């Protein structure tokens, strides 16, 4: 998606060969016009997949996921990184490790917001090693629902996330595929 790629080049900060900072429009401050364009692009790509729910992990995936859900006219569900005391065990849970933070956490999905006949689109801000998307997909499968697709804003194509997800049989669509990062260097896959 050209608009997102241009914004990454203009405002993104490559801090190392694996860290890209995009907090000016996605992770800390959100540009709603850009997120609306992102949502419309995901909608266009996945419009014929029979999506009944959009799912994302808190917190950076929320803005693009809500615009995607709005464009698809379906509910958006947020996977929690901490178990709520009011969910009373009515949840699906799986453990995942964040590549960026190097920490593990319990990913939680309330049983109230997914059904066996759902066709779920998972939206995530970054794809590195695929751990977050794989964890989200596990929760969808635990519920007996179907992962219809995975939408990624920024893919680090030099890491193994895409191949891991595709080997598991998931359809992956990334809006910006980065082939190389380095201090001050951002290059896209052609």
- Mind listing the pLDDT tens digit for each residue in 53-90? 999 998 889 999 999 999 999 999 999 987 666 656 68
2 is in an annotated binding site: no
What's the pLDDT band for 102 if we cut at 50, 70, 90? confident
Find out whether 70 and 30 touch, Cβ atoms under 8 Å.
Answer: no
Percent of the chain with pLDDT strictly greater than 70: 95
Residue 74 tokens read as 């379906």
Residue 26 CB contacts under 8 Å (≥ 6 apart), including other chains = 34, 35, 60, 63, 64, 125, 153
β partners of residue 80: 108
Across residues 105-122, what is the average pLDDT?
A: 94
What count of Cα atoms within 13 Å lies in the side-chain half-sphere of residue 160?
4
27 is in an annotated binding site: yes
Distances (CA, A) of 98 to 18, 86, 107, 152, 182: 13, 25, 11, 16, 20
pLDDT for the residue numbered 86: 60
pLDDT of 43 higher than 80: yes
pLDDT of 184 higher than 70: yes
Element (DSSP H or E) covering residue 163: helix 161-167
- Domains contained in the chain, CATH given: 36-177 (3.40.50.2020)
Residue 28 CB contacts under 8 Å (≥ 6 apart), including other chains = none
pLDDT of 100 higher than 80: no
Across residues 112-131, what is the average pLDDT?
A: 96
128 is in an annotated binding site: yes
Across residues 136-153, what is the average pLDDT?
A: 97
Across residues 42-61, what is the average pLDDT?
A: 96
11 is in an annotated binding site: no
């Amino acid at each position: 998606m050209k608009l997102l790629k241009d914004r990454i080049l203009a405002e993104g900060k490559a801090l190392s060969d694996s860290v890209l900072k995009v907090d000016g429009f996605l992770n800390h401050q959100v540009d709603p016009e850009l997120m609306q364009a992102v949502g419309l692009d995901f909608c266009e790509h996945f419009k014929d997949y029979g999506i009944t729910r959009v799912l994302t992990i808190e917190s950076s995936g929320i803005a693009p996921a809500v615009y995607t859900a709005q464009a698809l006219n379906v509910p958006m569900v947020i996977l929690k990184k901490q178990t709520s005391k009011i969910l009373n065990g009515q949840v699906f849970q799986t453990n995942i490790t964040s590549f960026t933070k190097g920490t593990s956490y319990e990913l939680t999905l309330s049983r109230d917001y997914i059904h066996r006949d759902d066709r779920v689109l998972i939206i995530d801000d970054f794809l590195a090693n695929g751990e977050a998307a794989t964890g989200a997909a596990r929760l969808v499968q635990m519920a007996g629902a179907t992962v219809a697709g995975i939408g990624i804003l920024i893919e680090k194509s030099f890491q193994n996330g895409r191949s891991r997800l595709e080997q598991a049989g998931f359809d992956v669509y990334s809006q910006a595929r980065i082939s190389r990062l380095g201090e001050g260097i951002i290059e896209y896959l052609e």
